[in-house]
Amino acid sequence: MINSFSEIKLFQVKPDKLDEFEALIGSIKIEQEKQPGCISVKYMKRFYTFDGVENGEPPRELTKIVKCVKYYSYLEFDTIENCGKASGWFFDNYSKDVMKLLIMPFDINSGYSL
């Protein structure tokens, strides 16, 4: 959709809290998809890297956890207003539960999709 509004969050999860985080995000995602104006909700766990890989080769799998495991969420909405409402809903309902599983507060980036 042209001119949709997107939000990306970076979560740096404590290594001993991965299962708890993934279970919580699984239930949050179902509710996020029901938010007004929601077009798409995706989550990604970073466990591959291009560091040390020759150009054109596939990424290599990460072999050890150093400090945290990074997860990203990508949410797309029809309007900036609906994104704001959904973000408010997330903070009101889940921010405390999520924050307990992280090494630091999550980072949020947002803007209009190209």
Nearest to 14 by CA among 68, 76, 70: 68
83 dihedral zone (left: phi>0; alpha: psi -120 to 50; beta): alpha
Predicted pLDDT at 53:
64
- Which domains does the chain show, CATH number per domain? 5-108 (3.30.70.100)
Q: What is the dihedral of CA 95, 101, 105, 109, to 10 degrees?
A: -70
pTM of the complete model: 0.88
Max Cα distance, the chain (Å): 45
Predicted pLDDT at 61:
74
Tens place of pLDDT per residue across the chain (114 aa): 568 999 999 999 999 999 999 999 999 999 999 999 999 999 999 887 677 767 887 777 777 788 999 999 999 999 999 999 999 999 999 999 999 999 999 999 999 988
Predicted pLDDT at 81:
97
